[in-house]
Structure 1
Amino acid sequence: MTFDPHFDFAWLGPLYLVAVAWPLTVIDIRERRLPNRLTLPVFPITILGQVFAVLLGDDAGRMFTSLLISALAFAVALALNRFAGLGMGDVKLIAGITLALAWFNPFLPAVAILVAFVAAGAASLVLLALRKTRMGSSIALGPYLLLGFLVALTFQAIP
């Protein structure tokens, strides 16, 4: 086995999200917010990493695809913000997760979001059954979005 010194710069965005997953989770559970200082850097970091990856020979179409899918996810999440009460921090996190994951596989963001909403729904049902919450209450969605991201990222990392 030989050592490959080539670093895949497209991993910068996902690595950033892994690094801020715990602080975002704690803040969202405690304060019900996802601060811009932690959510917004994913965009320039991910785009910069993808630009470097393209400059080093990766397909530029992958970057275009991830930008397009992220814009679509942002639009859908923004509609959910306007009409269904999704928080703006969640909207930005969904767009950032989508941007970081779609580079590797355009279906990974769907896996992440599906896992997030199934886990959040299951947790809500458990809380309702234990009478720890009521119908109509809100939950911190950020931790579930990050769980979905980590699950999807794990699928990506499995050869």
Structure 2
Amino acid sequence: MWRTPAQVGVFLYPERMTFDPHFDFAWLGPLYLVAVAWPLTVIDIRERRLPNRLTLPVFPITILGQVFAVLLGDDAGRMFTSLLISALAFAVALALNRFAGLGMGDVKLIAGITLALAWFNPFLPAVAILVAFVAAGAASLVLLALRKTRMGSSIALGPYLLLGFLVALTFQAIP
């Protein structure tokens, strides 16, 4: 099982890399999240945790990619907007952690997803989080109906957050 970003990177590393001057470096964060989505999903379902070694690298990777994008001519306001939206999402998720039982791994994942998506459109993080909570709620209702769980029990939210991220990323890619 892939448990570190290095293991994921070794798997995804192409045989030869060339520099493309037209590469949009702001995609580094979303590409990292896509790369670790499966390992995070499996670990969260099995162990009910999202390990820091997979969730925390999204922050420096995304920020570095956005800084490179700004240095190559993109608008710096986009980076500051994504940082602001991510900080706001982190604060709301932290409040949910404190008062509603949201896990800290989910809090960090929400902030990372928000940071990566807000660069492209400030509303994409809202789409991702909405899809995640609707999907998690629907799955919970199905599990309750099938008597596989009971009221008051918890579910692994990470897979649904990553599903929301992938749906929002797909919406971003549609012209």
Shorter-chain TM band: over 0.9
**Cα pair distance change 1:84/1:41, threshold 3 Å:** same
- Aligned position for 2:79: 63
- Offset at residue 3 of structure 1 (A): 13
| Alignment gaps of 5+ in structure 1 | none
- Aligned position for 1:95: 111
- Aligned position for 2:27: 11
- Offset at residue 5 of structure 1 (A): 4.3
Pair 1:157-2:150 in alignment: no
**Cα pair distance change 1:54/1:3, threshold 3 Å:** closer
SS in 1 for 2:133: helix
Greater relative contact order (Cα < 8 A, sep 6+): 1
- Offset at residue 2 of structure 1 (A): 17
User: Deviations along 1:90-131, whole A, 9 cap, x unmatched?
Assistant: 000000000000000000000000000000000000000000
**Cα pair distance change 1:93/1:3, threshold 3 Å:** closer
- Offset at residue 148 of structure 1 (A): 0.0
**Cα pair distance change 1:4/1:41, threshold 3 Å:** closer
**Cα pair distance change 1:2/1:136, threshold 3 Å:** closer
User: Deviations along 1:52-108, whole A, 9 cap, x unmatched?
Assistant: 000000000000000000000000000000000000000000000000000000000
**Cα pair distance change 1:26/1:107, threshold 3 Å:** same
> Structure 1: how far apart are the matches of 2:18 and 2:29?
26
Q: TM-score, normalising length from structure 2? A: 0.89
**Cα pair distance change 1:31/1:2, threshold 3 Å:** closer
Counterpart mapping for 1:11-50 below 5 A: 11-50=27-66
The list of structure 1 runs, each at least 4 consecutive aligned residues, that deviate by more than 4 angstroms after superposition, is: 1-5
Matched length: 159
> Structure 2: how far apart are the matches of 1:3 and 1:14?
19
- Offset at residue 141 of structure 1 (A): 0.0
SS in 1 for 2:149: coil
> Structure 2: how far apart are the matches of 1:94 and 1:128?
25
Q: TM-score, normalising length from structure 1? A: 0.97
> Structure 1: how far apart are the matches of 2:149 and 2:131?
22
SS in 2 for 1:81: helix
> Structure 1: how far apart are the matches of 2:73 and 2:49?
39
> Structure 2: how far apart are the matches of 1:4 and 1:36?
31
SS in 1 for 2:115: helix
**Cα pair distance change 1:50/1:34, threshold 3 Å:** same
> Structure 2: how far apart are the matches of 1:116 and 1:91?
13
SS in 2 for 1:136: coil
